[in-house]
């Protein structure tokens, strides 16, 4: 039986949600919208175009979504390139265990591809993943299941044989809608996320017992 393990990225591989919160607040402020981290928590796991599109509609903004994304992404890439940071503790060990078991791995993230590749390259992890899918490359982002169904398709693995590692409510919902098993990672830096729909939840990656999952 073919099996696979799919990683979300933000808040799972890199503890980047605080970066996203900060940049999103500054981006929206630049375009005339005052917001808070608490208000942004509902968007964790969603794509940038979807999030900014909602703000644009709610506040009748005149700038295009593309203009806002370009401003936002430039700031995020500058921060990433100059940031001294390591992956979330335990992620390298989890990847090594999956590799030892010959379980193919993928990344399915709502971030733009350039940011995903920047993170994986920075940490030297790119070669571990058979495929990478951005939420901006499928018709609908999380909480729709599109990104996970597309990732399973690219892996050549039935969705029901895929396990997803997620830190956001929207991501967990997407994984379950795709018919996949989902591990919810309780990352405090990802804000107030309801992960009740996950099959199991963990506070650290050493709680994940692959022998009990596969």
Over its C-alpha atoms, the chain yields an Rg (Å, rounded) of 17
Q: What is the pLDDT of residue 156?
A: 97
Q: What is the pLDDT of residue 88?
A: 97
Compute φ and ψ for 5, nearest 5 degrees. -125, 125
**82, 114, 132 — which closes off a domain?**
82
Q: What is the pLDDT of residue 49?
A: 95
Verify that 70 and 124 share a domain, yes or no: no
Catalytic site residue 206? no
Say what percent of the chain tops pLDDT 90: 96
pLDDT tier, 139 (very low <50, low <70, confident <90, very high otherwise): very high
Catalytic site residue 10? yes
Active-site residue, selected from the candidate residues 10, 15, 24, 167: 10
Verify that 96 and 39 share a domain, yes or no: no
Say what percent of the chain tops pLDDT 70: 100
* Tokens encoding 9: 């990225």
Q: What is the pLDDT of residues 52-72, one digit of tens each?
A: 999 999 999 999 999 999 999
What are the angstrom distances between the C-alpha of 86 and each of 62, 122, 125, 127, 177? 38, 9, 11, 17, 31
Verify that 37 and 49 share a domain, yes or no: yes
Q: What is the pLDDT of residue 213?
A: 87
How many domains does one find in the chain?
A: 2
Sequence length of the chain is: 214
Verify that 94 and 33 share a domain, yes or no: no
Per-residue pLDDT, averaged over 31-48, amounts to 95
* Tokens encoding 66: 């593309």
Per-residue pLDDT, averaged over 126-146, amounts to 97
**35, 64, 82 — which closes off a domain?**
82
Residue 149's domain comprises 4-14+87-213
- Supply the CATH number for residue 35's domain: 1.10.150
pLDDT tier, 162 (very low <50, low <70, confident <90, very high otherwise): very high
Verify that 101 and 205 share a domain, yes or no: yes
């Amino acid at each position: 039986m073919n099996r696979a393990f799919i990683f979300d990225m933000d808040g799972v591989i890199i503890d980047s949600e605080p970066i996203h919160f900060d940049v999103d607040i500054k981006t929206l402020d630049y375009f005339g919208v005052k917001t808070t981290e608490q208000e942004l928590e509902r968007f964790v796991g969603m794509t940038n175009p979807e999030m900014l599109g909602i703000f644009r509609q709610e506040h009748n903004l005149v700038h295009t979504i593309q203009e806002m994304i370009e401003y936002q992404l430039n700031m995020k890439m500058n921060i990433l390139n100059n940031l001294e940071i390591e992956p979330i503790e335990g992620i390298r060990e989890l990847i090594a265990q999956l590799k030892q078991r010959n379980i193919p791995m993928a990344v399915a993230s709502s971030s733009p591809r350039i940011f995903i590749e920047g993170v994986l390259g920075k940490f030297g992890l790119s070669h571990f993943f058979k495929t990478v899918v951005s939420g901006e490359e499928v018709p609908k982002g999380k909480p729709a299941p599109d990104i996970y169904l597309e990732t399973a398709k690219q892996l050549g693995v039935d969705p029901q044989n895929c396990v997803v590692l997620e830190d956001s409510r929207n991501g967990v919902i997407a994984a379950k809608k795709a018919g996949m098993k989902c591990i919810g990672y309780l990352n405090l830096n990802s804000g107030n996320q309801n992960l009740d729909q996950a099959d199991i939840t963990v506070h650290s990656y050493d709680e994940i017992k692959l022998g009990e999952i596969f």
